[in-house]
Amino acid sequence: MRRGALAALRGWGLAALGAVLLMWVAVVDGRPAVFSDTALYYDQAEYLFEALHLVRPGQAIEPPGDPAALPSRPGVPDTSAEIDGARSPIYGAPVYGLQRMGGLWLVAFAQAWAAAGVVYLLYRAAAPAAPRWGYLALMAGLAALTPLPFFASWIMPDLFAGVAGGGLLLLLVYPDRLGPSRLAGAALLTGFGLAVHRSNLLDAAAVILAAAVLLRLGGLPWRQVGRRVSLGGAIVLATLLAGALVYVPIRARAGVPIGTPPFMSARALADGPGLAYLRRACTGPGTPFALCAFRDRPMLTSDQILWSNRRRTAVFLAADAPTRMRMEREDAGFAVAETLADPLAEARASAWNAVQQFAMAYVDDPLKAQGFYVSDSFWRTTVLPRILPGADACPRTESCRPDVDKAVSWWLEGAGLLASLLALGWRLSAGDVRPVLMRRTTASWEDDRVRLLTVLGLTLSLLVANAVVCGVLSGPFPRYQARLIWLVPLMAGLAISRLGWLRRATANTSGG
């Protein structure tokens, strides 16, 4: 076997060991975790496979009458058709395929392997002189003191925000240290990570723009800056194209539009300025917005506006199918109109949402009791009880709570984040790094200190962009920032692994 192939196998093997370390949460709890949206991703993928004639309807797993399924008859709109546009089949398809082959345990391991693989590639590129056992030590730290293992075994696409972010760092800062196979692997992981959620694309665009500045400040020639930024942009465009193409067979079979819930309207209404504007705009004889019919209902949170099904509080789900589709078509227009009506109030609300989102970086949704998805009157009629491992052991709504509860996870993650910030502060203030950071000494792009400082700057830009994108467009929720915060301890580990070593990197980085 060729030396390069052996090195690649060794790398994948180390990444697999790293994935095993990340699986400890699922092992302790006895199962990977699901969420309500897991059913929608799964059913949409099964629908796609049937539309492509890869699965016959008689082979479907979803139960008859599954309320989370897309229309069973073409041209008949249902709630799923009006909300599934926010849930990419590109994530659902591998979940569906892997679950059919080996259950959700295989899905969780594949997710953990993807995250561990990105960490391995970053470790070998940023710290080529560091020993391989250091990678396993780094993975052990990420597994013990960050939210990463909770997201790795949660059957939702949130994990891939960090995977895509790590992949972008590789492609923007270290492409010259990746052999062809590693470069292709990093591009595929990045593209997949961007494709599974639209917010990831907006985050990526912000990071690519920041890279155009930081790479040049680091001394990289403009021509190379352009090549790397163009590579990132090409992956974003390819992802957009793939996202559009995957819906072609779904729409053809459904015979109805596949919509996206009015997230921006819900966020603006819950913040206050949007509700005040709605009540002013709906006072005349006309109804400029479909939301006018619900202007007198309490609109306290975006979740209540979008997902409540209670008679007195429901908004989006209280409407009939044509009204819901009208709300979706009017979403951007309503957000623009209410912003122009009171731009200062909207700016204050948006800024506060972004600040809250930046600070909300703790595990929440992955720690919900799994019994809810088995015994709830709605979710027990979906595919979730059929695919959740050990569902029979979760007979009540509050059963099968994770053994690692929220308080323990907060303490572990807080300790890890604090230690990481202290480690980064120590390295940035060290005598070999401070002059480069303060630009008191001339350093070229080939200097690893410059590259790692660039990686730190791009990581910060990713965290800020994610807080703005999620906080402003959807509203602050803990998991949106927690899914990325593990990159900070990763950066600390890379800083110690590379900048702490006295010798220069002389190893052949195309090796293992």
Angle between helix axes 273-281 and 343-359 (nearest 10 degrees) is 150
Give 312's DSSP letter.
Answer: T
Which of 57, 189, 198 is CA-nearest to residue 119?
189
Please name the residues in contact with 97: beta carbons below 8 A apart, sequence gap of 6 or more.
45
- What pLDDT is recorded for position 339? 94
Same domain, yes or no, for 219 and 285? no
307: nearest Cα among 324, 326, 289: 324
Residues 85 and 199 in one domain: yes
- Within 8 A by CB and 6+ apart from 465, the residues are 202, 203, 206, 207
Q: What pLDDT score was predicted for residue 510?
A: 38
User: Chain-centre distance of CA 158, in angstroms?
Assistant: 3
Residue 236 shares a structural domain with residue 337: no
- The pair of three-digit structure tokens given for residue 176, joined into one six-digit string: 């010259």
Q: Per the domain annotation, does 215 fall within a domain?
A: yes
Asked if the structure places residue 380 within a domain, the reply is no
Its domain, for residue 290, covers: 263-359
Q: Where are the alpha helices (DSSP H) in 52-88?
A: 79-83
Angstrom distance (rounded) from CA 441 to CA 427: 17
359, 389, 420: which is the final residue of a domain? 359
Structural domain tally of the chain? 2
| 372 inside domain | no
511 lies in a domain? no
pLDDT tens digits along 287-299: 899 999 999 898 9
Q: Which of 177, 23, 122 is nearest to 491 (CA)?
A: 122
Neighbours of 457 (CB within 10 A): 18
SS (H, E, C) 7-36: HHHHHHHHHHHHHHHHCHHHHHHCCCECCH
Q: Which residue has the tokens 């597994």?
A: 143
Please say whether the beta carbons of 162 and 87 come within 8 A: no
Report the pLDDT value the prediction gives residue 440, as an integer from 0 to 100: 67
**143 and 285, same domain (yes or no):** no
Separation of alpha carbons 455 and 121, rounded Å: 14
Within a domain: 393: no
Considering the domain architecture, whether residues 243 and 267 belong to the same structural domain is answered as no
All residue ranges of the chain with pLDDT < 50 are 500-512
Crossing angle of the two packed helices 448-473 and 198-217, in degrees rounded to 10: 150
Tokens 């090796």 correspond to 511
114, 163 in Cβ contact below 8 A?
yes
Residue 102 burial (CB count, 10 A)? 12
| 53 and 179 in a common domain | yes
CA of 506: how far to CAs of 120, 129, 351, 479, in Å? Answer: 18, 7, 46, 40
**Does residue 366 form part of some domain?**
no
Query: What does the pLDDT read at residue 48?
Result: 93
Rounded to whole angstroms, the Cα distance separating 3 from 15 reads 18
Q: Does one domain contain both 197 and 270?
A: no
Residues 158, 31, single domain; the answer is yes
Residues 92, 176, single domain; the answer is: yes
Q: Is residue 396 part of a domain?
A: no
Give the separation between CA 134 and CA 366, rounded to whole angstroms. Answer: 29
Same domain, 125 and 191: yes
Domain boundary (302, 324, 359) is at: 359
Q: How far apart are CA 95 and CA 395, in angstroms?
A: 25
Torsion angles phi and psi, residue 154, rounded to 5:
-105, 125
Q: Which residues touch 235 (CB under 8 Å, ≥6 apart)?
A: 171, 187, 190, 191, 194, 204
Query: DSSP for 98-154?
Result: HHHHH-HHHHHHHHHHHHHHHHHHHHHHH-TTS-HHHHHHHHHHHHHHSSHHHHHTB
Tell me the two tokens of residue 378: 């709605």
* pLDDT tens for each residue of 477-496: 999 999 999 999 999 999 88
The Cα–Cα gap between 496 and 465 comes to: 26
Which residue, of 301, 335, 359, is where some domain finishes? 359
- Smallest CA-to-CA distance from 359 within 304, 426, 414 is with 414
**Statement to judge: residues 296 and 241 lie in one domain:** no
| Amino acid (one-letter) located at 233 | G
Q: Count of CB atoms within 10 A of residue 10's CB?
A: 13
* 427 and 319 share one domain: no
